[in-house]
Amino acid sequence: MKLVIISIFVLIVAVQMYIARSTQQTEQHAYKVIKKFDKFEIRKYEAALFSSVRLNKKGYKESSSEGFGILAGYIFGANDSNEKIAMTSPVIMELGDTSKMMFMVPKKYSVKDLPHPENSKIVFEKQEEKIMAAIRFDGWADDEKIEKYKSILKDELVKEKLNFSSKFTFLGYNPPYEVMNRRNEIVVELLNYKL
């Protein structure tokens, strides 16, 4: 019996290591770290194209499943050419009175190359290069943790006398079935930041 338990444990760890490796190989929104502080860092993000869907719901719990389902449907083939598009990381959620979820479009595509989505709620938007402050937390994300780290980041930015946007965004890097080494972040754009 002990051998069976050890074997199952080893199998679970091996599967999680494989999943973590595939997550690390997923194309990510590229950025360069400009400055590190004790609790957060400042990054310069490259311009990128995103597929997005706006939801008339408030908060992470209410919005995440619906938004993910719509955008995942599109990249898994719910488009006019039934084309599968690679998943990218992180999944981005702007949270406020309404929510917006975004997936970065792989770099090999331009708007004219992308298949047309079957779901009319999906739109494509180009975001220019920007300077962001980011704070990281581990484990599973929920509305309470998101608010906690948003508050910590806000306090740190005020302490450092950095001007920032009112729009905070959640970044989730791991698929739901990845249980080890989960990475979550709260980011906000810095205003008038001098490099």
Residues 6+ apart with CB under 8 A from 17: 180
Instruction: Give the tens place of pLDDT for each residue, 133-188.
Output: 999 999 999 999 999 999 999 999 999 999 999 999 999 999 877 878 899 999 99
pTM, two decimals, is 0.85
What pLDDT was estimated at residue 96?
78
Instruction: Give the tens place of pLDDT for each residue, 71-93.
Output: 999 999 999 999 999 999 999 99
What pLDDT was estimated at residue 26?
86
